[in-house]
């Protein structure tokens, strides 16, 4: 048996929702390669902290709370969930980025 691993290719992720319910974004669904779902981490794009100085990103980079917007959470399976903050007008969330690792395996024939 021969297994071929392609170099990872990352593609943008967009999800349309009314934001009333939590939104699940399977960010690795449209990427390819031998991806490690448990390694997905939130990355703040350039200028994010300037727009949201009170945003809090957890040490493990799996949880991000943005006051007056909502909370982003990375599940163990690599899916990112966005939940709009209760009690504030629903707004489009400021986009975030993410990163992940590629599994490295040695295959011997």
Residue of 25, 36, 15, 10 lying closest to 105 (CA atoms): 36
Tell me the whole-structure pTM to 2 decimals.
Answer: 0.81
User: Token digits for 24?
Assistant: 């699940």
Question: b/e for 73-96, b at 16 or more Cβ within 10 A?
Answer: bbeeebbbebbbbeeeeeeebbeb
pLDDT tens string for the chain (109 positions)? 554 445 555 556 666 667 788 999 988 887 777 788 898 999 999 999 999 999 999 999 999 999 999 999 999 999 999 999 999 888 889 999 998 887 765 444 4
Non-local CB neighbours of 4 within 8 Å, separated by 6+ positions: none
């Amino acid at each position: 048996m021969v297994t071929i691993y392609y170099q990872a290719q990352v593609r943008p992720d967009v999800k349309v929702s009314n934001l009333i319910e939590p939104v699940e974004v399977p960010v690795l669904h449209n990427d390819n390669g031998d991806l490690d779902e448990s390694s997905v981490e939130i990355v703040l794009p350039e200028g994010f902290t300037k727009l949201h100085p009170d945003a809090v990103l957890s040490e493990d980079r799996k949880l991000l709370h943005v006051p007056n917007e909502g909370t982003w959470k990375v599940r163990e399976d690599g899916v990112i969930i966005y939940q709009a903050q209760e009690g504030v007008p629903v707004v489009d969330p400021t986009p975030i980025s993410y990163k992940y690792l590629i599994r490295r395996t040695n295959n011997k024939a």
